[in-house]
Amino acid sequence: MFRARVLQMVVASGAIVLASVALGRGQSPAPGRVLLQSVSSGAVDRGLLPDEAPPPAIGGKLSMRALGDEAVHADRIGASGAAYQAGRLIVKFRDEVSTSARLSALSAMSSGSIATRKSYANFDIVTLDPAEDAEAAARAFASRADVEYAQPAYRVYAHFVPNDPLYRTQWNLPNIDMERAWDIQPGATSSVVVAVLDTGIAFQDAIVRYNARSFRAFLSNGAILQYPALGTIDVPFAAATDLRGTNRFATPHDFIWEDNLPLDLAGHGTHVSGTIGQLTNNGIGTAGVAYNVRLMPVKVIDDAWDFIFGSPNEGTDETVSRGIRYAADNGAKVINMSIGRTGPPAPVVEDAIRYAVGKGTFIAIAAGNAFEEGNPRQVIAEIASRVEGAVSVAAVDLLHNRAFYSGTGTWVELAAPGGSSRGFGTAGTIYQQTYDLDFVDTYDLPPALYRAPRFDVLAFLPFQGTSMATPHVSGLAALLVQQGITSPAAIEAALERFAADRGATGRDNEFGHGEISARNTLRGLGLSR
Amino acid sequence: MIREMTRLVPALLLILLSLAAPAPLAAQTTAGAYPAFAPRAFVMFSQQQFAAKETFEAIFGESTGSFRGGGVDVVIARNIFAEIGFARFEQTGERVFPCVPAVPPPGSEVKCPFRLGIPLTAKIRSVEFVAGYRVTAWRRVLPYGGIGVGSHRYQESSEFAAAGDDVSVSASGLVLAGGVEVRLARFIGVTVDVRRSTIEEIIGSGGISKEFGENDLGGTAARFRIIIGR
């Protein structure tokens, strides 16, 4: 309850800014964490926690800055209002341009340097003076004939909005006719891999040693809270009990920590993964749409603890695009992206999406939750609307109406249950297993109560958002893949062809082609009906 | 248009039969012992090329199908005939999803449309009434042509069907036939003819047939009959 009051304060005062007295992000060359052991004392499952509520994230989130490093490492706000990572520029030189020509171009354009190209990147990262206007630098680079595109490393965020009341049934699955769909295709098989590009997944038991830096929380009402350094702490992790299974997770990778340990430090990715592939008919917890698939945890989004622990990367267009390419190259047939951002175009992400679709990977992308915050254009979702084989997903409530937060626009292609607490309480939200956030979001507490997190206490929590809608589409896409429809464009066409029309007749900006209908889609067409 | 013609055909057939009324006398003079009214029975087999070619190829993997059946006909005054026949088609295929794009790129391994592995069984039962004229210039070989109407019942059932998903509908349509009868013996003959049937209002409003814009359940059939009788 206390935490809830703090949350309300945070929400009321707008975004807070947290800052650390330790080395700023990106300055620590040494590994920021050490995996001590890959088992822990086991998960604590607190079951259904209907009064828990994650904080809101509407195209933004609690942001953190290193104390004393604010000017250098803070996200910058571009002319469009979109945040980007200072000191970095994504540049895609044309393929025929040699390395020497690239360096020559760089010296002509900037005082910066080109970093060593990272894995799963077909672009270069140009490091700039952090004070330099990256958007202006991008425009200058983009105007060159030898440059295909250039853009700042815009920040990308998870989509979900808070809820707090109780929820007891998964109305969302019957609403898309899942029970009858499972008669036709019972949960796919482990031959289908679904990549979850998110904050990670609670996929492994582990104890990991981190260094927790001190930081400041800057409230928009002017208040500043100083949080102490926790120093070296051993943090326990547990795999989600309703996700884990033999050979359940495929080729995990972490683009925030640059290793193969994409542990979820927020709970968002674990919740999303549950809707895709929560174990079903096992007598515990909740159900998932494609409950036999293998899940590929690909961490491309950071959260508060990643910052406090000093992760080397933040979630930007760079990590997202690398994650997309990684998933496609490692056999994912479906990619779930319950993430997004507003602001300028993201050619690097579009490039990666087209690459993945070209390799036969279907992609579902959240359409955004900021309808009541001005309904800004969702950049990544908008890409999906231009690529056959990628779809953007809006959210509907349990009465099949547009969820109050769900963004509208020409980019919306499909709708799925994302839940809505407004008017329904927790009965209208989406339940899945994730961490008990009382043990995770301790940075929301006053400094005196602030403590190390635990990622081994699990619970079934109610979330809502287009983040929750998107995995329904990904799960259904996985079932279609199992049915033999493997072309991403064909999957998109099937989903849209059999969607239940909502709102205005035909395609519209609220629901796109309509709310997915699992059974009708899997059943296909007969001769005359 | 088809519906209007379907209504007109019975009237035309009655006119044709009434014109044949004086024939028995003439028949006695030209054909000797040939009866004025010769009822016959037949069994038939036909192989039909469906008009809804893409639809049938999608569901069954081929656009042709076999009908089997039988019936009776009557020859009036040697030249005029009228037949009523029953034929039955049954085949099992799979439910499908149309390709996107409609034509896969060259070299693609994708087979279009996608077959979903969900069994679908289609049945057509037809009763057709056809009347026409036989040319009797030759003793053993008798070319003939006719026109008629058919009543068709179409049933479609699939695995995982719920109430209202399966189909059972009827419709009528036109039949045109032309062929040749070969008399093998006094009471045995065989015919080979080509028949064109048109059956609208059953397919085309849903399913893969709608995707292909095909609304004719009929087709062109090569039919073989064995006739018992004169």
Q: Mind telling me how many Å the CA of A432 is from chain B's nearest CA?
A: 29
CA distance A504 to A493: 20
pLDDT of the residue at A408 = 97
Q: Is residue A509 part of a domain?
A: no
The residue out of A122, A152, A182 marking a domain boundary is A152
Mark whether A463 and A316 lie in a shared domain: yes
The closest CB to that of B55, out of A492, A523, A527, belongs to A527
The residue out of A152, A171, A203 marking a domain boundary is A152
| CB pair distance less than 8 Å for A529 and B165 | yes
| CB pair distance less than 8 Å for B116 and A522 | yes
DSSP-derived secondary structure letter, A186: -
| CB pair distance less than 8 Å for A490 and B209 | no
Task: List the domain range (segments joined by +) for residue A95.
Answer: 83-152
Q: Is residue A70 part of a domain?
A: no
Q: Is residue A73 part of a domain?
A: no
User: Mean pLDDT for chain A?
Assistant: 85
**pLDDT more than 90, % of chain A:** 62
pLDDT of the residue at B144 = 98
| CB pair distance less than 8 Å for B118 and A184 | yes
Name chain A contacts of B158, Cβ cutoff 8 Å.
523, 526
Mark whether A130 and A192 lie in a shared domain: no
- Model confidence pLDDT, tens digit, residues B152-198: 999 999 988 877 788 999 999 999 999 999 999 999 999 999 999 99
- Model confidence pLDDT, tens digit, residues A329-343: 999 999 999 999 999
The closest CB to that of A484, out of B100, B117, B202, belongs to B117
Q: Residue B40's beta-bridge partner residues?
A: B73
Cβ neighbors of A186 (< 8 A, separation 6 or more) are A292
- Model confidence pLDDT, tens digit, residues A102-132: 888 877 777 778 888 888 888 988 888 888 8
The mean per-residue pLDDT over the stretch A231-246 comes to 94
- Model confidence pLDDT, tens digit, residues A34-74: 887 776 666 776 666 665 444 334 443 334 444 434 433 45
- Locate the DSSP E strands across A3-79: 17-20, 33-37, 44-48, 63-64, 75-77
Q: Mind telling me how many Å the CA of B107 is from chain A's nearest CA?
A: 14
CA distance A315 to A59: 13
Mark whether A127 and A270 lie in a shared domain: no
Q: Mind telling me how many Å the CA of A124 is from chain B's nearest CA?
A: 33
pLDDT of the residue at A17 = 43
Provide the 10 A C-beta neighbour count for residue B99. Answer: 21
- Model confidence pLDDT, tens digit, residues B38-48: 999 999 999 99
**pLDDT more than 70, % of chain A:** 84
pLDDT of the residue at B20 = 47
What is the count of structural domains for chain A?
2
* Tokens read off for A313: 């990367």
| CB pair distance less than 8 Å for B96 and A524 | yes
Mark whether A87 and A200 lie in a shared domain: no
Is the pLDDT assigned to residue A503 strictly greater than 50? yes
| CB pair distance less than 8 Å for A487 and B116 | no
Q: Given pLDDT bands bounded at 50, 70 and 90, which one contains residue A357?
A: very high
Mark whether A399 and A422 lie in a shared domain: yes
Cβ neighbors of A61 (< 8 A, separation 6 or more) are A15, A55, A157, A158, A303
pLDDT of the residue at B10 = 56
Mark whether A234 and A262 lie in a shared domain: yes
Q: How far from A79 is each of A63, A72, A152, CA to CA, in Å?
A: 19, 19, 12
B156 and chain A in contact, CB less than 8 A: yes
| CB pair distance less than 8 Å for A524 and B211 | no
- Model confidence pLDDT, tens digit, residues A297-318: 999 999 999 999 999 999 999 9
Cβ neighbors of A505 (< 8 A, separation 6 or more) are none
Q: Mind telling me how many Å the CA of B149 is from chain A's nearest CA?
A: 22
The closest CB to that of A523, out of B93, B160, B211, belongs to B160
User: Mean pLDDT for chain B?
Assistant: 86
Name chain B contacts of A486, Cβ cutoff 8 Å.
110
The closest CB to that of B202, out of A497, A524, A528, belongs to A528
Q: Given pLDDT bands bounded at 50, 70 and 90, which one contains residue A245?
A: confident
pLDDT of the residue at A166 = 31
What value of ipTM does the predicted structure carry? Answer: 0.84
Q: Domains plus CATH for chain B?
A: 2-14+36-103+111-228 (2.40.160.20)
CA distance A323 to A119: 10
- If one compares A401 and A162, the residue with the highest pLDDT of the two is A401
| CB pair distance less than 8 Å for B100 and A485 | no
Residue A182: closest C-alpha in chain B: B160
Mark whether A36 and A135 lie in a shared domain: no
The lowest-confidence range among A188-192, B140-144, B158-162 is B158-162
DSSP-derived secondary structure letter, A465: S
Q: Is residue A393 part of a domain?
A: yes
pLDDT of the residue at B111 = 60
Mark whether A96 and A20 lie in a shared domain: no
CATH number for the domain spanning A128: value is 3.30.70
Q: Given pLDDT bands bounded at 50, 70 and 90, which one contains residue B6?
A: low
Q: Is residue A131 part of a domain?
A: yes
CA distance B40 to B83: 9
* Tokens read off for A106: 């760089």
The closest CB to that of B208, out of A487, A493, A527, belongs to A527
Q: Is residue A68 part of a domain?
A: no
